[in-house]
Structure 1
């Protein structure tokens, strides 16, 4: 299977299936000397794991990470870092009844068309559980970025019709509320709404947003490796994401140039933008302002209502899905978006080291003597 590797310099490869023995990731390109312990990664995995809140799937997984390689005496060695998360609460019998038919809204049909078979136990490789590897790798990227003065923060912007009030943005609330909303009042309203959705045996979608602060200007490339294009690909690769925006996103189609352009002014000897409609990226390259990425997530496709589908043999039939499923995907996907954004930004920064001659001379020194 192609397509399980992401990144150019800071490169990750995820592996494993929803109901297999374990899942994990191999991280290559991490510099030597980074202080790294399993608890650094566990903080991020705990935000993603199932069964953590009343609005998440009741599947209970500890999602405890094990560092298998690439770390010695608490520091990275510069060699590949292998991380493993064991599955401990899979109940494959919940899926036996759908082994010979296709669940609406899932990848069952397309996976079967491509490979000629499918792992019907929770979706196998196409399950959202695959993202534990991305989060484990992204935790390392976030730690490196923090050392460079760059923070990446994702949160829930809306769930169904309930929107967070961004005028009172509370970053701590996004880490503490079950919905991952930065607005405690909106969180309470969303939880109540989700109870109604669950009672109706249905599910709902929502919007998540990610901010990158402290990133200097000049990161990214102007043609095929645009920073915004790569961010869009990274976030769009998260299951259930159906649309991605940068800055004002689709709203720019309604604006005039005079409204949409971000004017510049000098402030403390530096050129800064007066507004940020562009979302921190111009011409595919970061402009030094806050990067704003927004993603729209579809409703969880596994619902407990009777639905129409077809069998692998081509017969029309009805299906009623069993198992343990989230009424909304967004709150647990927030940290996945945060980590995919961090992986993309860090990789772009590493690639940027070769953009100018002075970058090479600053690192190696004149005359080819390496600066240690």
Structure 2
């Protein structure tokens, strides 16, 4: 399937389906000598696995990461790294009633239009289960970024219309929604439980902060760093919008308000989100993604079957109420992958220049 590979020098290919034997990823281009083991990968995988919060599906997947290649005696060898996770709790029979129906909000109808065939068991390749491979690859990229003192954090700033008013990143691991505002997190919990009882779902906003990113990453035309970040984040199934820095608020500002003044100590503000002319400026990278509500809901909806006949559907079973908070670590992983790739690309440019 074209489109399953991402990156230029630090490159990944994810594989597997929601109800197949397993899912995983091949990471190619990771430099040798990076400390890496299964426990390092598992730490990120545990933040994504099902059943981690009241908003998550009851499907119980251990998502135990198994390194199949590319690591020897605790360090990367420079060869392709293959990581896999077995599917342990797939219940395909639950999807048989919908095998001939197109679920509203899902990719069923477009997938069939493209390929003429689709795996109806949980969405197959278009399932959010595919992101397990991304997170495993993101853990590899993060291990590389750690050596460069670059950190990436993703946290929830809105869920179901409830907004975080504070940005205390010290508390994001103290609540199930990775929210930087503990008061808002409590309101989010109540909102999720109420909507769950209604058989409905919720969307929200995830903010991603990358600190320690050096100036000079990215290119000024098609491979702008912000363009690559936007593509990486938009490639996540539930994401419907991306903002960099001030984002859409910049449209209502004057130039005098939106420009970031430059001082001897650095930039006075960060409306640019750490990127100017497609190239990182040495400030923190700041991004936000809009996450749509999960389309699988128990409320009855209108649809059609594969023959075009009008039908109704109520999707019962084990589904997330919101992609948040499980999607947070997926966003984090994609940003790590982009930064790892551009660090290697910049190193190649500097190596050439140093030879002249």
TM-score in same-fold range (> 0.5): yes
* 1:208 matched residue in structure 2: 206
Task: State how far apart, in whole Å, the 2-side matches of 1:158 and 1:96 are.
Answer: 35
Q: Which runs of 4+ in 1 moved over 6 A?
A: none
Cα displacement (A) at 1:170: 2.8
Task: State how far apart, in whole Å, the 1-side matches of 2:158 and 2:54 are.
Answer: 18
Pair 106,308 (structure 1): closer, same or farther in 2 beyond 3 Å: same
Whether 1:306 aligns to 2:300 is yes
- What aligned pairs does 1:312-331 form with structure 2 within 5 A after superposition? 312-331=306-325
Whether 1:81 aligns to 2:75 is no
For residue 27 of structure 1, give the secondary structure of its aligned residue in structure 2. strand
Contact 2:29 2:80 in 1 (8 A): yes
Match of 2:243 among 230, 242, 245: 245
Gaps spanning 5+ residues in structure 1: where? 367-372
* 2:172 matched residue in structure 1: 174
For residue 175 of structure 1, give the secondary structure of its aligned residue in structure 2. helix
Q: Over aligned residue pairs, what C-alpha RMSD do you find?
A: 1.1
Answer with 1 or 2: which has the greater Rg.
1
Task: State how far apart, in whole Å, the 2-side matches of 1:25 and 1:205 are.
Answer: 28
Task: State how far apart, in whole Å, the 2-side matches of 1:346 and 1:237 are.
Answer: 17
Task: State how far apart, in whole Å, the 2-side matches of 1:139 and 1:183 are.
Answer: 26
Task: State how far apart, in whole Å, the 1-side matches of 2:44 and 2:350 are.
Answer: 35
For residue 337 of structure 1, give the secondary structure of its aligned residue in structure 2. helix
Pair 359,65 (structure 1): closer, same or farther in 2 beyond 3 Å: farther
Task: State how far apart, in whole Å, the 1-side matches of 2:191 and 2:63 are.
Answer: 28
Cα displacement (A) at 1:357: 5.5
Contact 2:35 2:143 in 1 (8 A): no
Task: State how far apart, in whole Å, the 2-side matches of 1:240 and 1:90 are.
Answer: 21
Cα displacement (A) at 1:360: 4.1
Match of 2:269 among 270, 275, 278: 275
Per the normalisation by structure 1, the TM-score is 0.94
* 1:348 matched residue in structure 2: 342
* 1:165 matched residue in structure 2: 165
Cα displacement (A) at 1:305: 0.7
Task: State how far apart, in whole Å, the 1-side matches of 2:256 and 2:159 are.
Answer: 32
Match of 1:189 among 179, 187, 190: 187
Cα displacement (A) at 1:178: 1.1
Pair 183,335 (structure 1): closer, same or farther in 2 beyond 3 Å: same
* 1:105 matched residue in structure 2: 105
Per the normalisation by structure 2, the TM-score is 0.98
- What aligned pairs does 1:1-372 form with structure 2 within 5 A after superposition? 1-166=1-166, 169-267=167-265, 272-356=266-350, 360-361=354-355
Pair 342,357 (structure 1): closer, same or farther in 2 beyond 3 Å: closer
For residue 185 of structure 1, give the secondary structure of its aligned residue in structure 2. helix
For residue 146 of structure 2, give the secondary structure of its aligned residue in structure 1. helix
Cα displacement (A) at 1:171: 2.3
For residue 9 of structure 2, give the secondary structure of its aligned residue in structure 1. coil
**Cα-to-partner distance string for 1:299-339 (whole Å, 9 max, x where unaligned):** 00000011100000110011111220111112100000000
Task: State how far apart, in whole Å, the 1-side matches of 2:84 and 2:247 are.
Answer: 37
Contact 1:353 1:359 in 2 (8 A): no
Pair 107,175 (structure 1): closer, same or farther in 2 beyond 3 Å: same
For residue 348 of structure 2, give the secondary structure of its aligned residue in structure 1. coil
Contact 2:217 2:342 in 1 (8 A): yes
